[in-house]
Amino acid sequence: MSKKNIIAISLAGLLLVGYFATFGLRTTRLDTVKKRVAQNVRTGESPEEVLRFLDAQHFEHSSLMRTWYMLLGGHDYGNNLPVIVAIKRNTARAVLWHESIQVVFVFDEDNKLAGYDVFPVYTGL
């Protein structure tokens, strides 16, 4: 192999490593999670139905709990609301950061699903 080929292959490898170190590798897209939730979870469902969905999708999640004060992803969930908080971890990873996708399900006083929010959570070194 010639010296030019070795340099070209080394440079290409270095560029590839640099790309993945900066931009990372994505395993799950935010839009995919939003669509999956929209297709499978309906307003008015019970906490048990939401928990079954989360278990089937392999999300880490809380049980139904009441907020004392909760601000997540720029959303204010106020005081004393029944919620279930779920997260799909490491949906995208790079050397200096990683992304997870969080879903907050908000219930009314009768424990029926009133709505939900889906948003990314970024963590860096």
Q: What is the pLDDT of residues 5-15, one digit of tens each?
A: 888 888 888 88
H or E segment at 94?
none
Whether the CA torsion 10, 14, 20, 21 is positive or negative: it is positive
Please state the rounded mean pLDDT for residues 39-57: 97
Say whether pLDDT at 50 is over 90.
yes
Return all residues near 42 (Cβ < 8 A) that are at least 6 apart.
113
Give the pLDDT confidence score for residue 6 in this predicted structure: 86
In the chain, what are the domain boundaries? 25-124
Indicate the average pLDDT of the chain: 89
Give the pLDDT confidence score for residue 32 in this predicted structure: 95
First to last CA, the chain: 40
How many beta carbons lie within 10 A of that of residue 81, not counting itself? 17
H or E segment at 44?
none
Is pTM, for the whole model, over 0.85? no
